[in-house]
Amino acid sequence: MGASRPVLGAAARLSVHRPLPAPGGHSLAELAVGGPAEARDAVEVGWRVSPVLLGDDLPRLFVHRLVAGRPCWTDCRWTPWSSRWAPGDALDALVGRTAEVGLVVSGGRWWVWFEGEWLGFFEAADWQGRLDGAATVQWYGEVHSPGSPVDGEMGNGRGAADPAAARVEAMCQVLPGDWTCRGGLPAFVQASIATRYGVLPVSPDGFRYGGR
């Protein structure tokens, strides 16, 4: 999704699943906001299954950031806010349901939202002006595997044409101070490896995706 002016917030509902990643790999679904070079500056929230990193095959709450291309695995300058949820929490109780995620920049902070409450925030100043607002917003499923071709289940392992496939719903823009979802931004769907994993729009603000 793109827009001619910075986007200050975005949200969606992601269906939660327990896919089987390739050995040594991961499978996830997320919402991400990025700066002009989104591969280098970004904030992300969603769920991830990664036995090699997390020690089990459960979907877990995923919060991440990139600053000048540097991923954050330990000291992320993350300030927690919620007393109910925290990054890394197991989400097995939500499998088969959708969970609401959101990212909003307000008061110089990128706030992260999950299932009815604020999780916490990152200081926008850490990006030195490159992420005071989002130049790009993306909603997607992802798999990573050490070998080639890329392997492992994405979503729930069902192809996008299957009505029971994983889905992203209620994609929207969120404005600080208003805090409601609004549509109207141009959205585009793309499958990076369409022969293995698909994506199919099913509404103006949603799509199905995935595969084995």
pLDDT value for 61: 97
According to CATH, the topology of domain 2-210 is Jelly Rolls (2.60.120)
pLDDT per residue as tens digits for the range 105-140? 999 999 999 999 999 999 999 999 999 999 999 999
Residue 194, token pair as written in the block? 């369409």
Beta pairing partners, 172: 11
Backbone angles phi, psi at 52, to 5 degrees: -70, -30
Which residue positions in the chain have pLDDT lower than 50?
A: 1-3
Which residue carries 């969120």 as its tokens?
174
What is the domain partition of the chain in residue ranges? 2-210
From residue 67, alpha-carbon distances to 40, 47, 127 in Å are 6, 21, 6
